[in-house]
Amino acid sequence: MPELFGPAYAALYDSLYAAKDYAGESRLIQRVLNEYGSFPAHRVLDLGCGSGRHAVELAKLGYCVTGVDRSAAMLAEAERKGVRLIQSDLKELELEETFDAAIMMFAVLGYQLTNDDVDAALRAAHRHLRPGALLIFDCWYGPAVLAQKPSDRTIVVDTSNGPITRRSTATLDVCRRVCNVTFHIDPDLTETHTVRYFFADEILRFVKSAGFDLLRFGAFPEFDRDPGPDTWNVMAVARS
Ligand SMILES: C[S@@+](CC[C@H](N)C(=O)[O-])C[C@H]1O[C@@H](n2cnc3c(N)ncnc32)[C@H](O)[C@@H]1O
């Protein structure tokens, strides 16, 4: 299988998502940590940290963030921002330390396609958390994916080398509960990302079996709203 988040795609990642509100999402994470946490969180583990943009925003809010990702190219982008980093498949992570909180943001859980992989990812988060610490993650919400269906899109973004066009073509695979999204940037740069969507009852079961209590399953980023068929992204808060 071709490498995901390879060097060419990773180099464009921050430009492609320049409009994503990482600062606002990080403030929401801070709010959730304050409202749902049973102790003040300082040390945060960012699983699937990518190019490190939550880590940078969380650091501005006073958190000390360690990022984990399997893509060397994404980590190279994060390294430029001064984030503390570990290259690992998050499912196999074995650090001799625990954290006050963990995050898995921008559908990282959805990249774990099988039930075993989802279990392994959540267990890895759990074994790196202090008892009572929070795990916060967003994912695609099944009822919305089935109601809205993935669609083809084209965006044009600015980069330091001028504007680029990214065309994405998407298909739904209801048997595997995934969307296959192929990004076409130029003839040499094509990546197909297979992303799983989740239903509320599965999330409840997955987090419980990894040792967490599910505290909240809300719309994302409109976290105070309950999810519905209009809510492609949802955010879960679980306590270890
Ligand atoms: C959509 S990006 C999100 C990156 C970042 N969290 C953000 O919000 O911009 C998904 C990231 O998860 C990483 N990832 C997915 N599955 C992983 C795994 N099993 N272990 C480590 N990293 C993983 C990918 O390499 C990629 O950097």
| Averaged pLDDT, groups of 10, the chain, 240 residues long | 86 96 98 98 98 98 98 97 96 97 98 98 98 98 97 93 94 97 90 97 98 98 97 98
Segments making up each domain of the chain, as ranges: 7-140+198-239, 145-193
- Please state the pTM of the whole predicted model: 0.97
Ligand 1: nearest atom to the Cα of 74: 27
Domain 7-140+198-239 matching CATH 3.40.50.150: the answer reads yes
Residue 82 has a pLDDT of: 92
Three-class secondary structure of residue 108 per DSSP: coil
Query: What is the residue with the minimal CA distance to atom 25 of ligand 1?
Result: 71
What pLDDT is stored for residue 3 in this prediction?
81
Residue 62, pLDDT score:
98
Query: Could you tell which of 45, 68, 70, 116 is best to mutate to test the pocket of ligand 1, judged by most ligand atoms within 8 Å of the CB?
Result: 70
> Quick one: pLDDT at residue 168?
96
| In contact, 182 and 169? CB cutoff 8 Å | yes
Q: Please name the residue ranges forming H helices in the chain.
A: 7-16, 22-36, 53-60, 72-79, 115-127, 142-148, 200-209
Measured between alpha carbons, how far is 72 from 49 in angstroms, rounded to an integer?
11
Tokens representing 114?
């099988």
Please tell me the predicted confidence (pLDDT) of residue 187: 75
